[in-house]
Amino acid sequence: MSDSNNDNNLIVEGKHADNERLKLESNYLRGTIVEDLADRITGGFTPDNYQLIRTHGMYQQDDRDIRAERQKQKLEPLHNVMLRARMPGGIIKPEQWLAIDKFADDYTSYGSIRLTTRQTFQFHGVLKPNIKLMHQTLNSIGIDSIATAGDVNRNVLCTSNPVESELHQEAYEWATKISEHLLPQTKAYAEIWLDAEKVETTEEPILGKSYLPRKFKTTVVVPPKNDIDVHANDMNFVAIAENGKLVGFNLLVGGGLAMTHGDKSTYPRKADDFGFLPLDKTLDVAAAVVTVQRDWGNRVNRKNAKTKYTLDRVGIDTFKAEVEKRAGVKFTESRPYEFTSRGDDFGWIEGFDGKHHLTLFVENGRLLDFLNKPLKTGVAEIAKVHKGDFRMTANQNLIIAGVDTADKAQIEKLARDHGLLDNISNQRLNSMACVAFPTCPLAMAEAERYLPGLVTDVETILKKHDVADDHVILRVTGCPNGCGRAMLAEIGLVGKGPGKYNMYLGGNQAGTRVPKLYQENVDETSILTIIDELVARWSNERNEGEAFGDFTIRAGIVAEVKVSKRDFHD
């Protein structure tokens, strides 16, 4: 990049954030992870490697419930790692499922599998001596965790649409191709975790030696379903089909939800429409968007480093023109499409190919054997007999996909017997939380453990006001990073401190509107009082069929966020 480029403010000058140093000095993501692994005196990693292991799909964590107690006993925190697998489109085969189910039993402190809002699974609580075994176990079943965290392109999402099987297959294949195309080229993962022979890395043609300025998230979405929440992602390929066949994509760039409390330079932002591209340009365009963000993203201040801020700083037209130049493509006008919902379709549905698909609701995506609800065992029992595949959805649920008519009854019985097919209200089906306590080091307030009770209370409120068949998209996230995508909810609660949340209102059902702050620092009791008052008004004053989020804007309860940079904080 020549200096003259900077006349247009394309590059942020200044001292680079420390993460830039550690990526650059890491010898292509190797660092001294091998040495740290051999050090049995501590269960943790040294600060640089603490960051670097993320690019290998792991976060160092400790159990926050017992942190203070261990400190009293003069013990170091109980360090362990969370692993996040790379599963483009969230598809996993039954035999793979059985292997991860066993690993969770044998080697994780919590004995659970967590389905995530980005269509993959996480293990929580793996101790250092078992980390290599974990990667080797995954490798033996064809799974890795390369680039599922850190400043790289992460797990690529794809709408879980089992009904139109051919279209889904095509979309899924593109999700996989994009994932492979944007993966780091370094062989560090294989060397460190799989004992592969050392192969020097000489270049990262797409990601660069310092990798990306910040995390980068990609989706392939099949309208009308916006289950993967395009506006939470940096780069989205909207599948455009003609007669059930994929013909190309509309590209949406620059979505993202994270912000920092009290820092007005940060905000959740919707993605912008760049136009339509033909299929054969998909990988070139993906690489061009990533390299423009690589070169122009802010490496000085990590809080403003994501693609959404680059777009707002350099201008959408400038960014888009550079993508066109690098990819050798001219976007044409976006093809028409519409998003109508984000939820999963629970229960059985039949695909065009005559196969059956059963979507199971998994509260918080947490597969564990709960008292009277052995969910984890249930899925394992299904895996033992299932001949199709499983699909993890971006709503933290699980689809048993590709079931023959003859096998339906057996699968349904297993699901029912293990509490996987209980009657669930619409409200619960449309509520979501991030992990937060006890594992997430960044959590300010509870989320996953708070949600079930909160939903029960909201169900009561809806019943009281005669809207029990309806629902409000309700999402709780333990800090403003927003992993539970609360910044695209009709009611979004964002953790502020123990038991305290900022409440946002005004998102819509299709996930195409960012909500706005309604009240700050509210406790759990006040949250219910506010929801009670607002639902009463909604029930009495709403137009026919009007959704809660739309009502809060029409009634002037919150102003609409049209352009985040301008409206979100005003």
Answer for which of 108, 112, 116, 266 binds ligand HEM (CB under 6 A) is 116
Determine which one of 84, 118, 308, 485 is catalytic. 84
Instruction: Give the number of residues written for the chain.
Output: 570
Answer for which of 17, 479, 487, 505 binds ligand SF4 (CB under 6 A) is 479
Q: Which does 257 bind (CB under 5 to 8 A by kind): ligand SF4, ligand HEM, none?
A: ligand HEM
| Binding residues with ligand HEM: total (CB under 6 A) | 23
Q: Is 326 exposed, middle or buried (0-12, 13-18, 19+ CB in 10 A)?
A: middle
Cα separation of 7 and 398, whole Å? 50
Does residue 485 interact with ligand HEM by CB under 6 A? Answer: yes
Q: Is 567 exposed, middle or buried (0-12, 13-18, 19+ CB in 10 A)?
A: middle
Determine which one of 154, 281, 294, 320 is catalytic. 154
Give min distance, CB of 463 to ligand HEM, in A: 28
CB count in 10 Å sphere of residue 471: 23
Answer for which of 228, 258, 467, 553 binds ligand HEM (CB under 6 A) is 258
442 vs 563, beta carbon nearer ligand HEM:
442
β-partners of residue 106 are: none
298 vs 481, beta carbon nearer ligand HEM:
481
Cα separation of 195 and 202, whole Å? 20
64 vs 565, beta carbon nearer ligand SF4:
64
Cα separation of 306 and 459, whole Å? 37
Residue nearest to ligand HEM (CB): 483
Q: Is 565 a catalytic residue?
A: no
Q: Which does 454 bind (CB under 5 to 8 A by kind): ligand SF4, ligand HEM, none?
A: none
Binding part of the chain for ligand HEM, among 98-106, 116-124, 320-328, 366-374 by CB under 6 A, reads 116-124
DSSP of 527-550: HHHHHHHHHHHHHHHPPTT--HHH
Give the distance from CA 487 to its chain's centroid: 13
484 vs 495, beta carbon nearer ligand HEM:
484
Q: Is 562 a catalytic residue?
A: no
DSSP state of 124: E
Determine which one of 187, 440, 485, 516 is catalytic. 440
Q: Which does 485 bind (CB under 5 to 8 A by kind): ligand HEM, ligand SF4, none?
A: ligand HEM
DSSP state of 467: -
Does residue 488 interact with ligand SF4 by CB under 6 A? Answer: no
**Residues in region 341-380 near ligand HEM by CB under 6 A:** 365
Cα separation of 524 and 468, whole Å? 21
CB count in 10 Å sphere of residue 100: 23
Determine which one of 217, 269, 366, 485 is catalytic. 217
**Residues in region 193-252 near ligand HEM by CB under 6 A:** 232
DSSP strand pairing (218-221 vs 157-158):
parallel
The one-letter code for the residue type at 28 is Y
Q: Is 243 exposed, middle or buried (0-12, 13-18, 19+ CB in 10 A)?
A: exposed
Phi, psi of 371 (to 5 degrees): -55, 130
Does residue 59 interact with ligand HEM by CB under 6 A? Answer: yes
Residue 34, CB-side half-sphere exposure with 13 Å CA sphere: 14
Binding part of the chain for ligand HEM, among 20-28, 44-52, 111-119, 351-359 by CB under 6 A, reads 111-119
Residue 433 near residue 492, CB atoms below 8 Å: no
Does residue 117 interact with ligand SF4 by CB under 6 A? Answer: no
Give min distance, CB of 70 to ligand HEM, in A: 18
Q: Return the structure tokens found at 284.
A: 């070139």
Q: Is 461 exposed, middle or buried (0-12, 13-18, 19+ CB in 10 A)?
A: buried
23 vs 187, beta carbon nearer ligand HEM:
23
Does residue 493 interact with ligand SF4 by CB under 6 A? Answer: no
Burial 299-318 (b: 16+ CB within 10 A, else e): bebbebbbbbbbbbbbeeeb
**Residues in region 440-459 near ligand HEM by CB under 6 A:** 440-442
Smallest Cα–Cα separation from 50: which of 25, 81, 86, 93? 81
**Residues in region 378-437 near ligand SF4 by CB under 6 A:** 434-436
**Residues in region 375-414 near ligand HEM by CB under 6 A:** 396
Residue nearest to ligand SF4 (CB): 478
Q: Is 449 a catalytic residue?
A: no
Find the helix packing angle between 282-296 and 307-314, rounded to 10°: 80
**Residues in region 427-466 near ligand SF4 by CB under 6 A:** 434-436, 440, 442-443, 447
Does residue 56 interact with ligand HEM by CB under 6 A? Answer: no
Give min distance, CB of 315 to ligand HEM, in A: 23
Q: Is 299 a catalytic residue?
A: no
Q: Is 158 a catalytic residue?
A: no
| Binding residues with ligand SF4: total (CB under 6 A) | 14
Residue 296 near residue 314, CB atoms below 8 Å: yes
Q: Return the structure tokens found at 52.
A: 């670097």
Residue 528 near residue 461, CB atoms below 8 Å: yes
Burial 56-92 (b: 16+ CB within 10 A, else e): bbbbbbbbbeeeeeeeeeeeebbbbbbbbbbbbbbbb
Binding part of the chain for ligand SF4, among 2-10, 86-94, 101-109, 474-482 by CB under 6 A, reads 474-482
**Residues in region 496-525 near ligand SF4 by CB under 6 A:** none
Active site residues: 84, 154, 215, 217, 434, 440, 479, 483
Residues lying near ligand SF4 in the complex (CB under 6 A) = 434-436, 440, 442-443, 447, 477-479, 481-484
Which residues contact ligand HEM (rule: CB under 6 A)? 59, 61, 82, 116-118, 122, 232, 257-258, 365, 396, 434-435, 439-442, 481-485
